[in-house]
Amino acid sequence: MNEDTATNAASVDETVPQNGAAQQLGGEGDLAAELTAARAKAEENYNKFLYAMADFENYKKRIERQLAEIALAGRRAVLVKMLPVLDNLERALAFEDSGGVRDGLQATLRQFEAALESEGVKAVSLKGKAFDPKLAEAIATHDAPAGTADDTVLEEARKTYTIGDEILRPGQVVVSKGHSA
């Protein structure tokens, strides 16, 4: 029996390291696990940071687009208000009157046209072209003169204006319909 006790004691001595080495081994294992967990947490936080940065960049681009749209809407509102003034100047030039008044009106008209052109506004001439309801509204029809096809713009009562590729204001036109008998 003593032999069994001695063998058991020897095996116990072999499995228990001296000077608290068991605690150090367990501590290293704990430190390695903590380091792995900290690295995983750091990587997770870094990924969250990257996602947040991407979201912020998308936000900045969206705000820039919205501000550009607001600015364009403001420009459009001002320009639409200027167009009737331009129309009236053109009508005034149509009447024969004093040469000095006419010259002054022509200079004013050119100045207005230059200001509008600098803002990207262009007049679209429709006279003699096929009627396009996207560009103008027909306010009257007249018999087509000889040699003129149906749905041809005969007169422009109000010009069509564009800004870029968009219609700023549709025109008002007189369109040919049928031939007089």
CATH code of the domain made up of 121-181: 2.30.22.10
CATH code of the domain made up of 22-119: 3.90.20
- Selection from 180, 131, 179, 134 nearest residue 153 by Cα: 131
Sign, Cα dihedral of 162, 119, 84, 98: negative
Residue 33 C-alpha from the chain's centroid? 50
- β-sheet bridge partners, residue 153: 175
Q: What is the pTM of this model?
A: 0.54
d(CA 115, CA 89): 14
Q: Go through 142-166 and write b for each residue having 16 or more CB atoms within 10 A of its CB, e for each that does not.
A: eebeeeeeebbbbebebbbbbbeee
Domain ranges of the chain: 22-119, 121-181
**Mean pLDDT for each 10-residue chunk of the chain (181 residues)?**
50 47 60 94 96 96 96 88 82 73 81 86 93 94 87 93 92 84 44
